[in-house]
Chain A
Amino acid sequence: DARVTQTPRHKVTEMGQEVTMRCQPILGHNTVFWYRQTMMQGLELLAYFRNRAPLDDSGMPKDRFSAEMPDATLATLKIQPSEPRDSAVYFCASGGGTGSDFSYGYTFGSGTRLTVV
Chain B
Amino acid sequence: GDSVTQMEGPVTLSEEAFLTINCTYTATGYPSLFWYVQYPGEGLQLLLKATKADDKGSNKGFEATYRKETTSFHLEKGSVQVSDSAVYFCALNPIKAAGNKLTFGGGTRVLVKP
A70 on interface, CB distance cutoff 8 Å? no
* Contact pattern, A 20-61, Cβ under 8 Å of B = 1, otherwise 0: 000000000001010000000011010010100001100000
Residues of B contacting A4 with CB < 8 Å?
43
A106 to B93, CA, bound (A): 10
Q: How large is the interface on B (under 10, 10 to 19, 20 to 34, 35 or more residues)?
A: 20 to 34
B112 to chain A, nearest CB (A): 21
Residues of B contacting A56 with CB < 8 Å?
98-99, 101
Which B residues fall within an 8 A CB radius of A? 32, 34, 36, 42-46, 49, 51, 89, 91, 93, 98-102, 104, 106-107
> Does A43 lie within 8 Å of B89, measured CB to CB?
yes
> Does A42 lie within 8 Å of B107, measured CB to CB?
yes
Question: Which of the residues B42, B98, B102, B107 comes within 8 Å of A106, measured between beta carbons?
Answer: B102
Question: Which of the residues B42, B49, B100 comes within 8 Å of A31, measured between beta carbons?
Answer: B100
A contact residues, total (Cβ < 8 Å): 24
A114 to B45, CA, bound (A): 21
A3 to chain B, nearest CB (A): 10
Which A residues fall within an 8 A CB radius of B? 4, 31, 33, 42-43, 45, 48, 50, 55-56, 91, 93, 95-96, 102-111
Residues of B contacting A106 with CB < 8 Å?
46, 102
> Does B44 lie within 8 Å of A48, measured CB to CB?
no
With A45-B101, A48-B101, A96-B100 known as contacts, the answer to whether A109 contacts B43 (CB < 8 A) is: yes
Question: Which of the residues A45, A96, A102 comes within 8 Å of B32, measured between beta carbons?
Answer: A102
Residues of A contacting B106 with CB < 8 Å?
42
Question: Which of the residues A43, A102, A107, A111 comes within 8 Å of B100, measured between beta carbons?
Answer: A102
> Does B49 lie within 8 Å of A104, measured CB to CB?
yes
30 contacts between A and B (CB under 8 A): A31-B100, A42-B106, A42-B107, A43-B104, A45-B101, A48-B99, A48-B101, A55-B98, A55-B99, A56-B99, A91-B43, A91-B44, A93-B43, A95-B100, A102-B100, A103-B32, A103-B51, A104-B49, A105-B34, A105-B91, A105-B93, A105-B102, A106-B46, A107-B46, A108-B36, A108-B45, A110-B42, A110-B43, A111-B42, A111-B43
